[in-house]
Amino acid sequence: MITEYLTQVKKATDLLEISFGAKNILGLWRSKKIPQRGPVTASVTYELHGIGCRVYLPEMCIDFDYGPDGRVDGFDAWRLYMYACELPRRYKKYTNKEFLEHEFNAYLKTGKAKKIEDSASNLYFIQP
């Protein structure tokens, strides 16, 4: 599910880059160059929040936070839970938040993902 979530984030941020010239559009919003929410394409819209963005694709809403240096490949249990809730037929067991958190913590123990040290971000990143 993490790989599919990150694929959808990439799809959304690629659309942002095509439309606005950047994957990370927070600075554009904060400098009042774009509104907090608006269209990306005829069928896609965005909504900025805090340190992240929601992109409403025709098939789902993808919510992500920008990581250190504008990274868009981070994830956490909450983002994965929201993603699972967007696709409940596909990820039914992960629509149970407690179950997802248990599985997420077990995944972290494998060492396949971890936080970036010296970062205020709560996001995890897949280790190379």
Q: Summarize the confidence of residues 90-118 as an average pLDDT.
A: 94
Statement: residue 120 has pLDDT above 90:
no
Statement: residue 118 has pLDDT above 80:
no
pLDDT of residue 121: 82
pLDDT of residue 116: 81
Average pLDDT, the chain: 95
At position 126, the amino acid (one-letter code) is I
Every domain of the chain and the residues it spans: 2-126
- Are 22 and 30 in contact, with CB atoms under 8 Å apart? no
What six digits make up the tokens of 43? 């069928």
Question: To which H or E segment does residue 64 belong?
Answer: strand 61-65
Q: Summarize the confidence of residues 1-20 as an average pLDDT.
A: 97
For the stretch 30-87, pLDDT in tens is 999 999 999 999 999 999 998 999 999 999 999 999 998 889 999 999 999 999 999 9
Statement: residue 119 has pLDDT above 80:
no
What is the share, in percent, of the chain residues with pLDDT greater than 90? 89
Q: Output the CA–CA distances (angstroms, integers) from residue 35 to 21, 67, 88, in the order listed.
A: 15, 21, 31
Statement: residue 22 has pLDDT above 90:
yes
